[in-house]
Amino acid sequence: MRRILFSLLTLFAICLPLVLFQCKPDWKQNSGDPFTKAYWENRLLENDIVAYPRFFLVEGRVTGLYQSPLTIRSSTDGTTVTLQQNGSFSMFIYGSPKYFQIEFPGQPTEVHCQVTTRGAWDGFKIYDVLITCPFAKTVVSSKTILWDRCTHGSTWNPFGNQNGDGFGDCSFGSATPLRFCTTEDGYDAVTNPNACNNGSNALPVAKGEVYQSCQSQNQTKIYQRENWRIPLFTEMFSVIRCSETNSGVITGEDGCTAVGNGTKYAGATADPILFPNAVADHYWGPQTFPAGGDIQVTTVNFNPGNEAYLNKDLPAYVRCVSDL
């Protein structure tokens, strides 16, 4: 009798706090339990996507392609699809919907693409995957350079239709001219012309709003990259189109035929599809032009398409690059 009484007292001592404080057993805290509120709030989140392998469909869209195709591949089973143009795509794969990833074994020649939206799972397929191409791509001195397709002040809109459906454009924001160095940075044309170049015309810019324009892209990891910089003026020649009718192709690191102040090409500009909001004006390089008192920077003027020089306290444009 005493044992029974002791057991009842013990049970009462255990249950009373549960009643008073409304404690719940651990299984009731499990978001996978359909009897809990958490289950119905979280059932469509990533942690509830099925992890076991199965056959399922992946549907999505690609934008930003220009002239050459993009090859995508499932990392789980190696299923490969080559996309010849912008638009919808689908692939039937075997793998885990939860851990599904897309790889790019074949990037296009003139642009560089990435997954920007992983899509959603509806229990049968992953849908609304978005792949877009916010980078133009050139090779300079055997080094691949990725170009922000948008002039600083604007960003890539994968659904923009300035050049037609699927091409994308730079309609988020607008191109913004910046000054290379100002009095606020310590610039003085006579006493301190290299205030933004660490005091030397041989050093690249390391201060001021032009420098900060690319640094800000590193800080925000725009397009998932954080090694943005200002391109050398010789690198900028790799994106100039060099025919009077603008029907020519991008020709490489020496621009059209040569780099030099006397080299001009009537009608030369940046490709209007690769660079939807290119401005026919000066774009900053990172270094002082070592003449005339160090008050100018070597730039590329995308109006006549030539090497040019601009005073540091005048406005011009910036297009940041990232080394692949």
Of residues 108, 109, 106, the one with CA closest to residue 139: 109
Token pair for residue 176? Answer: 């913004």
Res 126: pLDDT:
93
- Classify 224 in phi/psi space as left (phi over 0), alpha (psi -120 to 50) or beta: left
Closest CA to 285 of 316, 262, 323, 313: 316
Give the pLDDT of residue 46.
52
Mention every residue, 6+ apart, whose C-beta is less than 8 A from residue 87. 61, 62, 166
pLDDT of residue 248: 40
DSSP state of 20: H
Give me the pLDDT at residue 204, please.
95
Domain residue ranges of the chain, discontinuous segments joined by +: 47-134, 143-323
Q: Who's near 173: CB < 8 A, 6+ residues apart?
A: 150, 153, 154, 155
Query: What confidence score (pLDDT) does residue 271 get?
Result: 79
Q: CA torsion angle for 141, 144, 149, 151 (degrees, to 10)? A: -50
| pTM listed for this prediction | 0.78
Residue type, 3: R
Q: What is the pLDDT of residue 68?
A: 93
CA-nearest of 218, 250, 233 to 148 is 218
Three-class HEC string of 229-297: ECCCHHHHHHHEECCCCCCCCECCCCCCCCCCCCCCCCCCEECCCCCCCCCCCEEEEEEEECCCCCCEE
**Which amino acid, residue 79?**
T
Which pLDDT score is estimated for 300?
Answer: 87
- pLDDT by residue, tens only, the chain of 324 residues: 555 444 544 545 555 454 444 444 444 455 455 555 554 444 444 555 677 888 999 999 999 999 899 999 998 899 999 999 999 999 999 988 888 899 999 899 999 999 999 898 888 899 999 999 999 998 888 899 999 999 999 999 999 998 889 999 999 999 999 999 999 999 999 999 999 999 999 999 999 999 999 999 999 999 999 999 999 987 887 777 654 444 444 443 334 544 444 445 555 577 788 899 889 899 999 999 999 999 999 998 887 777 789 999 999 999 999 998
